[in-house]
Amino acid sequence: MTVPETGADASSSIELRNVVVTAPTANDDVTILHPTSLSLGERRISVIGGNGSGKSTLARLVNGLVEPSAGTVGIELHEGGARRSLDTRRDGAAVRRNVGFVFTDPSAQLIMPTVVEDVSLSLRRSHRDRVERHAAALTALERFGLRQLADHSVHTLSGGQKQLLAIASVLATDPAILVADEPTTLLDLRNARMIGDLLLSLPQQVVVVTHDLELAARADRTLVIDGGRVTFDGHPAAAIAHYRNTVSR
């Protein structure tokens, strides 16, 4: 498998400023994420925490799937010496073009009948011509070792192949940032390691939400989320130790 390259001299960062996320209930609003400010410029960031802690909400803020109830989420892009700032609320479409998102269950993303058609769908804006779009989709599949499955039904793929295809479809558009929300949870050990290795080898900035502490430990920086708050932010080994100590109480 050959990992696709991104543009030269490109980097990105994620900026959260006093971000709060609330959701209405029958009686009152419930706070899902308490006031949070973060500047995330590392290439590999992992996010860990228990179920319902707010870590998926944090991940979805990055590409605008969730909008902040208060505060701002910004994406800073640096390309060829130029700098561009995007706001997830104001510049939603542009943010989603630059921030790819991979869900836990790839079936939530694979909506076309065949493998090549699914990647082609991702390329409909960048390649208007159908023949060129098909060729670009085949090239993307080749990079991920899926070329031989181009005409197969997505429903015949294994769990690992489906997650690989979901990642390939997102990365075909060459986003600056990839957010993966528990991408290995539904996979067996071999496929989980394969997907983890792939994510950590990408040229893009990667934010991975995971229960896999071995995968989290391979990041440059780890956030621990508990009760809608970032309770630890730092070196992965220290973050994981903090998390283990928290859940053992």
| pLDDT band with cut points at 50, 70 and 90 for residue 80 | confident
pLDDT at 1: 58
pLDDT at 3: 56
pLDDT for residue 96 is more than 80: yes
198: nearest Cα among 241, 166, 220, 236: 166
| pLDDT band with cut points at 50, 70 and 90 for residue 79 | confident
How far out from the chain centre does Cα 75 lie? 14
Alpha helix (H) residue ranges in the chain: 55-62, 92-98, 115-122, 130-143, 159-171, 189-201, 213-216, 236-247
pLDDT in tens, 154-195: 999 999 999 999 999 999 999 999 999 999 999 999 999 999
> Structure pTM?
0.91
pLDDT at 216: 97
What kind of fold does domain 10-247 have according to CATH? Rossmann fold (3.40.50)
DSSP 205-245: EEEEE-S-HHHHTTSSEEEEEETTEEEEEE-HHHHHHHHHH
What is the arithmetic mean of pLDDT over 79-89? 89
What is the arithmetic mean of pLDDT over 7-16? 75
pLDDT at 171: 93
pLDDT for residue 8 is more than 50: no
pLDDT in tens, 22-78: 998 888 899 999 999 999 999 999 999 999 999 999 999 999 999 999 999 999 998
pLDDT in tens, 107-158: 889 999 999 999 999 999 888 889 999 999 999 999 888 999 999 999 999 9
